[in-house]
Structure 1
């Protein structure tokens, strides 16, 4: 932001990618990582710094460091191009608060990017496993891989969001639901068992064995399971 009548320097090519050491700001590179601020009248600054700041018309400056994940990331500042001024404590506090907010936002964005990259790697791994894999939260299917979708006869998009009970034949439903309830309650239930799954067409049986466990998925308690067809048993109609 610049005040009316002040030329913005955002696109000044001489200020783009300016190195601290050779650009005359080695002092800043020493002070700012310590969490200290830089402030004062520009005409009292070292010659190298004045050579960059004076042509911009800056008379007084206030610089506050930005930290991301406890590491020095950069800085944010106020320039006064009208007069020399002594920065008030309230102005310094406001700039520190802005620096803290910006640093937290950058850290949050980095965490989101890292999570997305991790999930993409995980998804690539899961999609290349031949067994069907699913995640259930509150009886709702929240994730399936392509192998599960193919086994169920639908796309992953068509399956996610539906109750898992849609994919169990009626005569096995009570057992599967009971095991799921008891597992979430911490009771001892078989970690692997066989039953007849139900194809998305609502008719075709799919004999499978299922292995399940409790995980935390996106911060929530969920059930992770793998299913595989039983060798020697073919899918058939109810």
Structure 2
């Protein structure tokens, strides 16, 4: 036989065997199963046999790479005859002789070749029988499982065969339909329509109709019917496929109402770019009347500022079948600028492909967002200037404190008060510097960031040089505020500062139905149970009391949450829960 490995290597196995009495059989020898013969010394055999050539003779005369196995099994003569099935190489017959070397004459080789040909023909017949059986099984499964109504009707309009859906939905027994006129499956009030359709179908003028079906107890079922000419049991027939469109009709009504009532701009376009329909929001926002849009090409209305954007959108939709959240700018009829978020999908209207476009008008949101961003930048600038001025004054206090130290004796009450004052100044200085680290919080829009790359940059800090930081997140990217790097630093530094004897920090990621879980864990002292929730509160901690509080705030900008779930004495474990739409593998 001639199967193939997953990487397309040709493998050979013994499948059938006859041996003379006293000679050990080899069919169960694992060495002779799935042999990679081309790469195990028998490349010549593969080349010869696939060309229909026979290999025969004394193995002592074969190439060295072919001899070892044959001689180890005391084979002194052999003939290998190729088998072909459907003109393709199928395998081979092997005849071996462990007695004295046998000479193979032409008659013997021709006889063996004829035997191989008979086997090939048998294999062909078996394959053909299997294919016929598969086709029969497929046809039966098609009839028995498909949800549409299937009928085979002869040219006299008599039902020859029906599927299980017909029996189940029309509530007839099979023998009540087979052999009966096809008129029985339609309402009597539509018999004249059926007669007209019958004439058109038999005349080759029609292959589609919407005449409803009727159940045995008189219930009407709305259907769309496709009729195709064919052959059944050697006779010309009509294959009739009726699809229940009751739900579709209801869905179309619901879609139409939702389409018109939507506050988003919605349009249905042909694949060539012509407008088929638009909703009221589309007309109201862009300032057009329906007759000015329907039937026009998208390019004719010139709604898009950038031709390249329009072409890029069309190209992606044609390539992938949809597009999501594409920011665009549109022109209204009176040339006002509209900012929108566009999504589009390929849909089908009967048998025709179309494009459903939905645009959410975010003009006002964008304006407010830009205004807020501008205000934040101005506040950030003001904060930076103010912080600079405060630091100048704090520096002056440091100089003054050092000057006063020389003026106040070590054992005086004034010296003690001065030390307290300087410690307070130092705290102010540290907290002012801390605010500088977080001045950009929320200023820049969130983005996709590679977790491993961010942590790799942070762990290069010299303070982490004595601990092992292992990251196993691979190409994971998460959608977060750009200050996510500060989150990583805070969590690493928190382990170092509070873990007491931390030597290792591990960062891993797990997926679940709810989303993803990014885990930072160490082998340090852990967090007491009473502190697990408090550590994320403002003012809690041994340093500024803001590190973990701001960590949680940074993550929450994009809907990410954090909690501590470790066991005291075994190490801290921070679990960062990420929404399903907030991560992917880049």
Query: What TM-score, normalized to structure 1?
Result: 0.65
Q: Which of 224, 228, 248 is the aligned partner of 1:213?
A: 228
Larger Rg, first or second structure (1 or 2):
2
1:85/1:132 CA distance change after superposition, 3 Å = same
Deviation at 1:193, TM superposition (A): 5.8
Partner of 1:72: 89
Partner of 1:94: 111
Deviation at 1:216, TM superposition (A): 4.4
Partner of 1:55: 72
1:13/1:141 CA distance change after superposition, 3 Å = same
**Given the alignment of the two structures, is residue 144 of structure 1 paired with residue 159 of structure 2, yes or no?**
no
CA contact (8 A) 2:161 2:178 kept: no
1:213/1:41 CA distance change after superposition, 3 Å = same
2: CA distance, partners of 1:104 / 1:193: 48
1: CA distance, partners of 2:141 / 2:184: 29
Compare 105-114 and 218-227 and name the one that shifted more: 105-114
Deviation at 1:68, TM superposition (A): 3.5
Partner of 1:224: 239
Q: Counterpart of 2:108 in 1: which secondary structure?
A: helix
1:211/1:88 CA distance change after superposition, 3 Å = same
Say what the alpha-carbon RMSD is for the aligned residues. Answer: 4.5
Deviation at 1:94, TM superposition (A): 3.2
1:219/1:71 CA distance change after superposition, 3 Å = farther
**Given the alignment of the two structures, is residue 116 of structure 1 paired with residue 103 of structure 2, yes or no?**
no
Q: Counterpart of 1:86 in 2: which secondary structure?
A: coil
1:9/1:69 CA distance change after superposition, 3 Å = same
**Given the alignment of the two structures, is residue 12 of structure 1 paired with residue 21 of structure 2, yes or no?**
no
2: CA distance, partners of 1:132 / 1:35: 51
Deviation at 1:3, TM superposition (A): 1.9
Deviation at 1:224, TM superposition (A): 0.8
2: CA distance, partners of 1:5 / 1:161: 68
Deviation at 1:152, TM superposition (A): 2.4
CA contact (8 A) 1:206 1:229 kept: no
Partner of 2:404: none
**Given the alignment of the two structures, is residue 163 of structure 1 paired with residue 178 of structure 2, yes or no?**
yes
CA contact (8 A) 1:133 1:224 kept: yes
**Given the alignment of the two structures, is residue 42 of structure 1 paired with residue 55 of structure 2, yes or no?**
no
**Given the alignment of the two structures, is residue 153 of structure 1 paired with residue 171 of structure 2, yes or no?**
yes
Query: What TM-score, normalized to structure 2?
Result: 0.31
Compare 37-46 and 102-111 and name the one that shifted more: 102-111
1:189/1:76 CA distance change after superposition, 3 Å = same
Q: Counterpart of 2:38 in 1: which secondary structure?
A: coil
Higher relative contact order (CA 8 A, sep 6+): 1
1: CA distance, partners of 2:37 / 2:211: 67
Unaligned 5+ residue runs, structure 2?
1-17, 247-586
1: CA distance, partners of 2:132 / 2:242: 30
Deviation at 1:103, TM superposition (A): 3.3
1: CA distance, partners of 2:171 / 2:117: 51
Q: Counterpart of 1:169 in 2: which secondary structure?
A: helix
Q: Counterpart of 1:83 in 2: which secondary structure?
A: coil
Deviation at 1:110, TM superposition (A): 5.2
1:212/1:60 CA distance change after superposition, 3 Å = same
1:81/1:206 CA distance change after superposition, 3 Å = farther
Q: Counterpart of 1:226 in 2: which secondary structure?
A: strand
Compare 111-120 and 4-13 and name the one that shifted more: 111-120
**Given the alignment of the two structures, is residue 24 of structure 1 paired with residue 48 of structure 2, yes or no?**
no
2: CA distance, partners of 1:161 / 1:83: 76
CA contact (8 A) 2:143 2:163 kept: no
CA contact (8 A) 2:77 2:97 kept: yes
Unaligned 5+ residue runs, structure 1?
232-238
